[in-house]
Amino acid sequence: MKINLVTAKTVLIKTGLPGADYVVNPYNGCLFGCMYCYAAQIARWRHPHEVWGTYLDVKINAPVLLKKELENLHKRLKTKNFGAVFFSSVTDPYVGMEVKYRLTRQCLSVLADFGYAGNVSIQTKSPLVTQDIDVLQRLKDVNVGLTVTSLNDRVSRFLEVKAPPISARLEALKTLHRKGINTYAFIGPILPHILSNLESLNQLLDKLEAVGVREIWFEHLHLNPATKARLYRFLKHQAPELIPEFERSDTAVYRAQLEQVIRRALAGRRLKMGLGKVIHHRDLPKKK
């Protein structure tokens, strides 16, 4: 594991991500090392020869820089609402080293001290977020999402190599809900077993409702060439029998079937679908 202390030139960055206007990445890289993560390709420009999950750039000036950028935007736009601010797009804001550097907590404190009036959204796989409930409660409009791709810790450990177990994430969602923090779940990527085991989807939705979640974001598996190559190298050694399932999931036909299955599973539940659709990142050929 290689930790690099770096100084960033900017930290509040305009984005085209669905549901967000700006992103804040206190770190570059992610030590969780998830096999399906497409951010591995985006974030690796500083580390072209290093393996995803083995390096982390710590932007030591992120809180100071964020304060300055907020003040500059306020002077220019005459408002304290610049749109939705999202933590984070190419890293997990609560990667383990957050315990030492506290950059996410400091950036959230900057937003709270500034009196930011727009939405602040956090997505993580770590229960560390619960340590910042005191700061979250100071923000005017905040919601926290935990990525939950399966109820099975073994499945999670297989593909989300060093990420905290699913059971801990569900407990974090319950804690946040009890403390009055708006929560959501991010089921992304949707792993291929969903269509072959529909009951697993219903069980997952049941559990998310039980811990207080009222909104769920779904995202199709995004197998860009680099991500696909890395994932398949892993599967060839660990579980080659799963490769056909992943191949099938990367088609337009599968997407259409999955969309119908998810909408049927949500019918009659008190669960809102984020953006009203399953997110995807590119068009796919209509092959079976």
Flag whether 136 is in a domain. Answer: yes
Q: With beta carbons less than 8 A apart as the criterion, state whether 221 and 258 touch.
A: no
Q: What is the residue whose two structure tokens read 């779904």?
A: 218
Give the pLDDT confidence score for residue 285 in this predicted structure: 55
Tell whether 79 is covered by a domain: yes
| Structural domain includes residue 286 | no
In angstroms, the Cα distances linking 247 to 40, 53, 195, 244, 253 are 20, 24, 13, 5, 12
pLDDT computed for residue 249 by the predictor:
81
Asked if residues 110 and 67 have their Cβ atoms less than 8 Å apart, the reply is yes
DSSP 127-148: GGGGGGHHHHTTSSSEEEEEE-
Distance of CA 60 to the CA centre of its chain: 22
How many domains are contained in the chain? 1
Q: Rounded to the nearest 5°, which phi and psi values hold at 100?
A: -85, -45
Q: Is residue 284 part of a domain?
A: no
Q: Is residue 285 one of the residues assigned to a domain?
A: no
Domain limits for position 172? 2-276
In the prediction, which pLDDT does 288 show?
Answer: 46
Of 209, 202, 207, 191, give the one whose Cα is nearest residue 262. Answer: 202
CATH code: domain of residue 133: 3.80.30.30
**CA 111/CA 107 separation, integer angstroms:** 6
138 within a domain of the structure (yes/no): yes
pLDDT, residue 194, reads 74
Reported as half-sphere exposure (CB side, CA atoms, 13 A), residue 209 has a value of 14
Question: Taking the model in full, what pTM does it have?
Answer: 0.91
* Residues contacting 215, CB < 8 A, separation 6+: 143, 184, 185, 271, 272, 273, 274
Question: From first to last of its 288 residues, what are the pLDDT tens digits of the chain?
Answer: 899 999 999 999 999 998 999 999 999 999 998 888 877 776 566 787 888 889 999 999 999 999 999 999 999 999 999 999 999 999 999 999 999 999 999 999 999 999 999 999 999 999 999 999 999 999 999 999 999 988 877 777 778 889 999 999 999 999 999 999 999 999 988 888 777 778 889 999 999 999 999 999 999 887 777 778 888 888 898 888 888 888 888 788 888 888 999 999 999 999 999 999 998 876 655 554
What pLDDT does 43 receive?
58
- Among 22, 24, 23, 121, smallest CA distance to 77 is for 22
Rounded Cα distance, 82 and 74, in Å: 8
CA angle 42, 45, 51 (to 5 degrees): 85
Separation of alpha carbons 124 and 147, rounded Å: 6
- Would 223 be classed as within a structural domain? yes
End-to-end CA distance of the chain: 41
Alpha-carbon span 174 to 140, nearest angstrom: 21
Q: Would you say residue 208 lies in a domain?
A: yes
pLDDT at 172: 98
pLDDT of residue 138: 98
